[in-house]
Structure 1
Amino acid sequence: MSQQSASSSLPPTLPLRRGDLEGTAALPLLEYHAINQQLLHKIAYDALVWSSLHGLVTGDKSVERSGSVPGVGLVHAPFTLLPASFPQSHWKQACELAPIFNELVDRVSQDGEFLQESLSRTKKVDEFTSRLLDIHSKMLELNKKEEICLGLHRSDYMLDEQSKSLLQIELNTISSSFAGLGGLVTELHKNILSHYGELLGLNSERIPTNTACNQFAEALAKAWCEYNDSRAVIMFVVQAEERNMYDQHMLSLALRERHHITSVRKTLAQIDQEAELLPDGKLYVDGQAISVIYFRAGYTPLDYPSESEWRARLLMEKSSAIKCPSISYHLAGTKKIQQELAKPNVLERYLENKDEIVKLRKCFAGLWSLDESDIIERAIERPELFVMKPQREGGGNNIYGDAVRETLQKLQKAGSQEDAAYILMQRIFPTSFATIFMRSGSCHKNHAISELGIFGTYLRNRDKVIVNEQSGYLMRTKISSSDEGGVAAGFAALDSVYLT
């Protein structure tokens, strides 16, 4: 947290007296920094107990093996003590967009020429995107069609203070995380308000139900059914060191307990060593038939330290197993494709419903390629109004502030094609608010901004759409002075929505 944070460790017990709470109930809605200190500590203590008992945990990076051995070095995930307010009208808008974006990703994924052409300049200067496109090209050459397509997506938004508009940050089509832990924070906040809501002037019923984990598991289970092999398992592709493993294990548990489906966890390197692709396209890993491949790794160059990992990715793509995402779904979620889709008349190539097109365009922020000289000049002059984004996922990759100007001037001076590795995006300025962060057992008062992610599930078998739903949400809150916003990357905390 910033130096402005007010941090305090919690005593083991805090008995309350009636006089300690006087004045609290009269607080204005969501004025969290004015909460009576005695009450604040009591709520925080209860929240830490709840999070420990219900698995709202991650691996502690300071503990060896915490990212590889379950149960070693557990620490509560960073969360906010109380939910963030969000206008009900914008909440409804975000939820209505989810099935439209699901459909758009699926349609774009089927246009191989558009994906290759849109990313052609990027391919020349971005080795990672180039390797992904090579795999996609091989699938086009083989004329391999994905008969069964599964998407577990998350579209992220911020509320722009000046325009009062809900604007999209990005659309995630690979490893859309926190369906598990995000839902737990919703339950935590509902629990807190059921006990303390009357004192705080808050109503737990204003927090929307969040069933993202169960809905993700249900979509995976339905895909497993469509594959139609009762002996096959679902394979989670994971990183060797994963402190966020419990978010993933919640999905595995839901698959086993709710749908009686077995899942296995494998790294890309293990898949390269253990996988066998049969002539009929069936994929076996360590002797087990694989029906669905769910990627929680493979979205960053760091996941491919050698040719072994790239061989595994290609082998899986060649197989008849259902990929979540397929290589075409993965590419459809890149920043460059997001920018291309925002151009005039492009959405009309993929969607027929004019009302849906209007809804999508309404949430698009300004997006530009770096071959537009007038925008480049404006960004150099006013860098604080823009964000530079490379074709990367996972947080910590974007360029802000004076670094935007410096990077653009460096690219201009070099005169190379490296500018194709980036897009420029309008910077969104949401309203900051007072909140209380819980991190490493301590509470920190600070001012913050939030980002709302809406999960979507999509399943299609040939021409039949089986699932197309909005499937829960993820609220992430960070101190207002922070540029980046990833929870796993250490920038933000998990939150939930309080509808106003």
Structure 2
Amino acid sequence: MSFPKVYWDQAVELAPLFNELVDRVSLDGDFLQQTLARTKEVNSFTGRLLDIHAKMMKLNKKEDVRLGLTRSDYMVDGATDLLLQVELNTISTSSNGLACGVCELHRNLIRQHQRELGLDPESVVGNTAIAQHAEALAGAWAEFNNQSSVVLVVVQPEERYMYDQYWITVALREMYGVTTIRKTMAAIDAEGELRPDGTLIIDGSPVAVVYFRAGYTPNDYPSEAEWRARLLIECSSAIKCPSIAYHLVGTKKIQQELAKENVLERFLDNKADIEKVRKCFAGLWSLENDSIVMSAIESPELFVLKPQREGGGNNIYGDNLRETLVSLKKDGSNELAAYILMQRIFPPESLCYLVREGTCIRENAVSEFGIFGTYLRNKDKVIINDQCGYLMRTKAASLNEGGVVAGYAFLNSVFLT
């Protein structure tokens, strides 16, 4: 997908700012608890996460070593030519391996057909996501300072993204000599042992880092076993990617709260940085704002209704959005707190070749672009704060949703113009 360099440069510059923002917000436990208090009343999943967070606060549990593998997703708004943030992901920022593969595929195709195409393969931006994610995980493992320790990858029982995750485990082993173990939450509950000193033991090995590639959706917690596993991990001395606080920072409600006037100033010091971050915020509102709710009922095509969910396929659009809002308002329901309203972004359309299961179609398409970020610090020392590769997802312009695993979007790469 052709992508103007000005937007690429802007997103790259924003990555370390969002990394720092996530870290600082995560340290403000009262802010997280207060902002999500009403959501907790109507959303049991967010409520359970908040309960674990509250227990950690009560124990005064400090995460001296903090590791974030984030992804900030953007679309270019066709009406204003502004790069606007769709969401900020702080848990299981997936497709890093597959994104690197698609990038190499496109580069090689252009090299093979350079004479006919007249394109420069170097204009396809190289993707460093796997190498830098592995570097950050290995860096955290080194900070744990136990050569016999392992990285625990938390996965879903029937993991559809195992090959995407496999690249990371290979890179950790081949580049850094770090062993990984894959376990479901239920297996961690059954097999995990917490030593008196806080060390988490799995398969006889101490766990240095817990890398969550599951645990972001209520479907990942079908029983109390999974919740026990999440609490066990949080109580341990293992470095969490993400910690419960980092996980909560990625909720839609926190995103909406950070977009309010004077809230960024609570967490960031540099005025120029604050303006750069604020410039990329789309319109975000709580459903307590009656005038915005009425606007959305009258013109639902201009808004997206977002629940506190990750993983694609959850947002509400169009007539369904209007019907949902009318129903919630009529009931005077507390359920309003379970959602946020967001300005709908309309990126420019372009003709694209979309390939799924061996079938190629040519269709008008739009793209969403995410920059991965890595952040590692030990107490006051920031070890890594960087952007690290990207994810480009392209979908038919006629579709609302955009998840790849959910079956809507296609993995793509960036061709800088």
So what's the TM-score if we normalise by structure 2? 0.99
Moved over 6 A (4+): none
Provide the rounded CA distance (Å) in 1 between the counterparts of 2:224 and 2:50. Answer: 16
1:378 pairs, out of 283, 289, 295, with: 295
Report the counterpart of residue 348 of structure 1 in structure 2. Answer: 265
Q: Secondary structure of 2:399's match?
A: coil
Report the counterpart of residue 256 of structure 1 in structure 2. Answer: 173
1:339 pairs, out of 234, 256, 264, with: 256
Report the counterpart of residue 363 of structure 1 in structure 2. Answer: 280
Counting only pairs closer than 5 Å after superposition, residues 71-470 of structure 1 correspond to structure 2 as 84-470=1-387
Counterpart of 2:373 in structure 1: which amino acid?
Answer: G
After TM superposition, give the deviation of residue 286 of structure 1 in Å. Answer: 2.4
After TM superposition, give the deviation of residue 454 of structure 1 in Å. Answer: 0.1
Counterpart of 2:320 in structure 1: which amino acid?
Answer: A
Provide the rounded CA distance (Å) in 2 between the counterparts of 1:155 and 1:336. Answer: 16
Q: Secondary structure of 1:145's match?
A: coil
After TM superposition, give the deviation of residue 243 of structure 1 in Å. Answer: 1.6
Provide the rounded CA distance (Å) in 1 between the counterparts of 2:103 and 2:109. Answer: 10
Report the counterpart of residue 472 of structure 1 in structure 2. Answer: 389
After TM superposition, give the deviation of residue 399 of structure 1 in Å. Answer: 0.3
Provide the rounded CA distance (Å) in 2 between the counterparts of 1:210 and 1:462. Answer: 30
Counting only pairs closer than 5 Å after superposition, residues 54-65 of structure 1 correspond to structure 2 as none
Provide the rounded CA distance (Å) in 1 between the counterparts of 2:105 and 2:134. Answer: 21
After TM superposition, give the deviation of residue 437 of structure 1 in Å. Answer: 1.1
Deviations 1:15-65 (A, max 9, x none): xxxxxxxxxxxxxxxxxxxxxxxxxxxxxxxxxxxxxxxxxxxxxxxxxxx
So what's the TM-score if we normalise by structure 1? 0.83
After TM superposition, give the deviation of residue 198 of structure 1 in Å. Answer: 2.7
Q: Which runs of 5 or more residues in structure 1 are unaligned?
A: 1-83
Deviations 1:157-215 (A, max 9, x none): 00000100000000000000011110111111110111113312321111111110010
Counterpart of 1:395 in structure 2: which amino acid?
Answer: G
Provide the rounded CA distance (Å) in 1 between the counterparts of 2:404 and 2:118. Answer: 29
Provide the rounded CA distance (Å) in 2 between the counterparts of 1:197 and 1:437. Answer: 21
Structure with higher Rg: it is 1
Identity, % of aligned positions: 64
Provide the rounded CA distance (Å) in 2 between the counterparts of 1:141 and 1:197. Answer: 61
Q: Secondary structure of 1:351's match?
A: coil
After TM superposition, give the deviation of residue 319 of structure 1 in Å. Answer: 0.3
Provide the rounded CA distance (Å) in 1 between the counterparts of 2:205 and 2:189. Answer: 14
Provide the rounded CA distance (Å) in 1 between the counterparts of 2:239 and 2:182. Answer: 16
Counterpart of 1:208 in structure 2: which amino acid?
Answer: V
Counterpart of 2:93 in structure 1: which amino acid?
Answer: S
Provide the rounded CA distance (Å) in 2 between the counterparts of 1:95 and 1:201. Answer: 28
Provide the rounded CA distance (Å) in 2 between the counterparts of 1:377 and 1:445. Answer: 38
Provide the rounded CA distance (Å) in 1 between the counterparts of 2:204 and 2:109. Answer: 47
- Give me the CA root mean square deviation: 0.6
Provide the rounded CA distance (Å) in 2 between the counterparts of 1:416 and 1:450. Answer: 35
Q: Which runs of 5 or more residues in structure 2 are unaligned?
A: none
Counterpart of 2:370 in structure 1: which amino acid?
Answer: G
